[in-house]
Chains A and B, each alone.
Chain A
């Protein structure tokens, strides 16, 4: 049998179901490799001992009906996990142990998943390089001192480095798709309202969505099927009929109309990305899809809109971290002094920057000019997609304007960092589903991703298109275990 950790999720599931592998063997294999991979700094909290015990329990009384039978899975440290420290990558939650479970992770455990550990991420999911984490930056297994993307950087690195079969991330402006693109992995952001936000540390409530990250499209479909559910504990959760994504997965996409938005041809975009996109278009055609030029005229306004809406919501969502009830507290002379010290010391620079931006755009006298206007533009961006979807079934774009960059390269230039999200944020603003699949390597051998954007609740369609293109692209990730 080939190395366990190299296997895809569906292979491991099959091997467990056919009793070729036990849950313990699988769990131990990922733990062993994780132990050797500390240099990548993907884990904030390891749950290895408990994972082995649970795997043992599974093997004693296996239930092969489950969708994730005894599968160890590490998750982004933004999901609250009962009894296991949950930090959101922040000092302010450094000592926080929830006594409750997020709906998404609960769905995974209910299907036989086993918690392997909590994965590093940008602080409160604010970042595109995993450099804002209080627990240090994460290394990209693609190359030393390369960022894994963000904010789900620990997750993308862990999947790419074979430290977990699959994982879940959260995506507010690209936090699943961009790191997937940077690590040669697959990342899917579902339609807003598909996956419950209950128990996920909130960044920007109207944009946040959990989603699967995996080595291939099929694995993403399996995991999406498990985590997507209607939840009354989240008022924005939507009760729609969910497909059996993995069972219904097909490469038959003949006649599907795929739109190519001209506005995504941004200024200064490298020729490599341009070529990757062109190749993608060819692949789509080869798969039988019809390619149509479309226009999404408000695309240019998406990034500024996002950087008003997201910080505004974040500034309010993060108000609860005040040192009063839980988490880090720095003593002060009085209440205000305690607040100031706690929040000054407890939050990192990027989080503070966004809280300040958010507070500013909501302030009286500025609200209309920023927040209200941004909401209006957001509607226009949504309308762009609505109009486009009258003509096409899905939209194909690059996932990111560049491949992974060096650690520290953009750290002091927030605007250039924010530009990483240029292709991903419109999707969040419009609440749409989108998947990033690896589509090629640049000159340096770093992966590049393509993004397929779908209609609301049309996850099955983008999974099918991705599945079909994946076959044609036949991407091979170059991971040389440089850290071991």
Chain B
């Protein structure tokens, strides 16, 4: 990594590095909850997806959902991590109205997944980020404080939904790396189908640990944990704001207290939630209602056979097989749906053109309309047709853009559009000569200038011909014929 790219905070002559670790809470993609059969569907009427277990009725017992275990192991494999054949569910004890049991079932000392690695593609090269662990735990319900003037209302639909907490090592050094990291982890989970990664619906949230240290110093500074940040943008803002706060404290000769903080998105600042002294004593202990989780090699092997090609492998394949640049390949694999779209288009179309059109025009269109590629108004089938029409010279690249715009309104077949609007490229030399002669006749003075050596005017003639043909003329042929005529 070159020094220029380093994210540093400067105060006079002092420079500070930022050290960041993330605890990502990813909701497991599963139909039912971690320890009960209630549905996990988002957006249902409050308290309609609550079993007796979720509401912690007397005598109710948790029973592990095997599918959630598979999902956690899959994710572990995707994170190139060690799968622990024995893990233990613990109780994390604390009181809150949306925590019906009075404890959260989590994994403390013995998580289901151990150390792993995530590779980030940064402009300055690849960066490895260590994964410390992944463990399974229950989500809490939701407290709603603003619906009733006097009471807090509780919705237990989310209570007991399975979460994977993915803890990174403190290997991240800038808000941009955090951005790429989150997107990469999300991408891996989407490829695996283990988490939909939907941040708006809260399927993916993170606690961010931030500390700062003087550049080059090996000892880590005191860290603060920023709780429950639910968008990448806010994470980046929170990190920048928190790192600057810590640097200011150091510069003022003050001490940084290890504490839990909240990010105020409106004020763009973090504020203290509780200090280390007030930290909860969660009194973790193994949940006596659940036996230790024992996983066999066979079970893991079977899951391994279900693992699809993951972003890193897909990227290598794209580079090798299609001769794409690392940059292009990265963009195409970063999202599973994009890669699927791309692979469908190139089944029948030129790879290079497909890559350009997807990452260029299509992305611009999706961006403008704020759509995911899965919601693309242009199907991969029709985009493939459009690319083939360019490739075989039926239309020019320029006309193709016009056709693309029309396609964006209702996914029409480009062949029909060209037919309807008469946009087919004019490649008949006789027809082209007519346009060219007309232009030459009308611009005799320019012809003289050209012939006397002002060769730059060639472009002018091409432009005039294209205009006369309303863009339909085959530019290559126009070039050839013009050159002959102007000799």
Which of A's residues lie within 8 Å of B, judged by CB? 79-80, 86, 88, 93, 96, 98, 100, 102, 197-202, 204-206, 232-236, 312-313, 315-316, 318-320, 322, 324-326, 335, 339, 359, 362-364, 367, 371
A sample of 24 inter-chain contacts (CB < 8 A) reads: A86-B58, A100-B57, A102-B59, A198-B60, A201-B58, A202-B58, A204-B288, A233-B63, A234-B63, A235-B61, A235-B291, A236-B290, A315-B283, A316-B103, A319-B93, A319-B95, A320-B56, A320-B101, A324-B100, A325-B57, A362-B284, A363-B281, A363-B283, A364-B283
Contact B285 A312 (CB under 8 A): yes
Given the contacts A319-B95, A324-B154, A234 and B283 also touching, CB distance less than 8 Å: no
Chain A binding surface, main DSSP class: loop
B58 CB contacts on chain A under 8 angstroms: 80, 86, 88, 93, 96, 98, 201-202, 320
| CA of A362 to CA of B62, assembled, Å | 21
A199 CA to B283 CA, complexed, in Å: 25
Q: Which residues of A contact B91 (CB under 8 A)?
A: 316
Cβ–Cβ contact A320 & B100, under 8 A: yes
B417 within 8 A of A: no
> Residue-by-residue, is B53-73 near A (CB-CB < 8 Å gives 1, otherwise 0)?
001111111111000000000
Knowing A206-B288, A235-B290, A359-B283, the reply to whether A322 touches B102 (Cβ < 8 A) is yes
Asked if B59 and A236 sit within 8 Å, CB to CB, the answer is no
Q: Contact at A233–B61, with CB atoms within 8 Å?
A: yes
The one of A79, A205, A319 in contact with B101, judged by C-beta atoms closer than 8 angstroms, is A319
Give per-residue flags for B403-438: 1 if the beta carbon is below 8 A from chain A beta carbons, else 0.
Answer: 000000000000000000000000000000000000
A408 to chain B, nearest CB (A): 30
B residues near A202, Cβ cutoff 8 Å: 58-59, 289
Residues of A within 8 A of B100 (CB): 320, 324-325
Q: Scoring B residues 83 to 100 as 1 if CB is less than 8 Å from chain A, else 0, what string do you get? A: 000000001010111001
Check if B152 is an interface residue, CB within 8 A of chain A: yes
Q: Tell me, rounded to whole Å, the shortest Cβ–Cβ distance linking A167 to chain B.
A: 18
A-B contact sample (14 more), CB < 8 A, given A233-B63, A319-B93: A199-B60, A205-B288, A206-B288, A233-B61, A234-B63, A235-B61, A235-B290, A315-B93, A316-B93, A319-B101, A322-B95, A325-B100, A335-B152, A339-B95
Report yes or no: A316 in contact with B283, Cβ–Cβ below 8 A.
yes
Interface string of B25-59 (1 = CB under 8 A from A): 00000000000000000000000000010011111
With A236-B289, A319-B103, A362-B283 as known contacts, state yes or no: A335 contacts B63, CB within 8 Å: no
Instruction: Report the Cα distance A43→B111, complex, angstroms.
Output: 46
Nearest CB of chain B from residue A239's CB, rounded to whole Å: 13
Judge whether A316 and B57 touch: CB under 8 Å.
no
Residue of A at shortest CB range from B143?
A335
* Residues on the B chain within 8 Å of A235, using CB: 61-64, 289-291
Q: For A359, list chain B residues within 8 Å (CB).
A: 283
In the complex, what residue of chain B is closest to A327 when comparing beta carbons? B58
> 1/0 per position for B318-361, CB-CB distance to A under 8 A?
00000000000000000000000000000000000000000000
Contacts of B290 in A (CB 8 A): 235-236
Chain B nearest Cβ from A234, distance in angstroms: 5
Bound-state CA distance A147–B114 (Å) is 54
Min CB distance A326 to B, Å, is 7
State in angstroms the CA–CA spacing of A39 and B429 once bound together. 116
Nearest A residue to B59 via CB reads A199
Contact of A326 with B57 in the complex, beta carbons under 8 Å:
yes
Chain B 285-309: CB-based contact to A (< 8 A → 1; otherwise 0): 1001111000000000000000000
Q: Cα distance A371–B91 when bound, in Å?
A: 14
CB distance from A89 to the nearest CB of B (A): 12
Which chain B residues in 132-157 approach chain A with CB under 8 Å?
A: 152, 154
Mark contacts of B253-295 with chain A using CB atoms, 8 A cut-off: 1 yes-contact digit, 0 otherwise: 0000000000000000000000000000101110011110000
Give the chain A neighbours of B95 by CB distance below 8 A.
Answer: 319, 322, 339
Bound-complex Cα distance A320 to B95 (A)? 9
Q: Mark B198-219, 1 if CB is under 8 A from A, else 0.
A: 0000000000000000000000
Residue of A nearest to B98 (CB): A324
A198→B51 CA distance, assembly (Å): 14
Q: How far is the CA of A256 from the CA of B284 in the complex (A)?
A: 44
**Contact assessment for B289 and A201 in the assembled complex, using a CB-CB cutoff below 8 Å:** no
Contacts of A312 in B (CB 8 A): 285
Q: Which of A80, A102, A198, A362 contacts B93 (CB 8 A)?
A: A362
* Nearest CB in chain B: distance from A201 CB, A: 5
Q: Which of A234, A320, A364 contacts B61 (CB 8 A)?
A: A234
Decide if B57 touches A232 in the complex (CB within 8 Å): no
| Chain A residues closer than 8 Å to B52, beta-carbon distance | 100
Q: Is the CB of B102 within 8 A of A316?
A: yes
A100 to B59, CA, bound (A): 10
A102, B62: Cα distance in complex, Å:
14
When distances are taken between beta carbons in the complex, the residues of chain B under 8 Å from A201 are: 58-59
What 6 pairs across the A-B complex have the smallest Cβ distances?
A: A319-B102, A205-B288, A206-B288, A362-B283, A199-B59, A320-B56
Chain B residues with CB under 8 Å of A335's CB are 96-97, 152
Give the docked Cα–Cα distance between A319 and B101 (Å).
6
User: Cα distance A201–B58 when bound, in Å?
Assistant: 5
Residue of chain B at shortest CB distance from A193: B291
Candidate in A198, A206, A325, A359 with the most chain B CB atoms within 10 angstroms: A325
Contact A320 B102 (CB under 8 A): yes
In the assembled complex, the CB of B485 is this many whole angstroms from the nearest CB of chain A, namely: 87
- When distances are taken between beta carbons in the complex, the residues of chain A under 8 Å from B57 are 80, 98, 100, 325-326
**Most chain-A CB neighbours within 10 Å: which of B55, B58, B152?**
B58
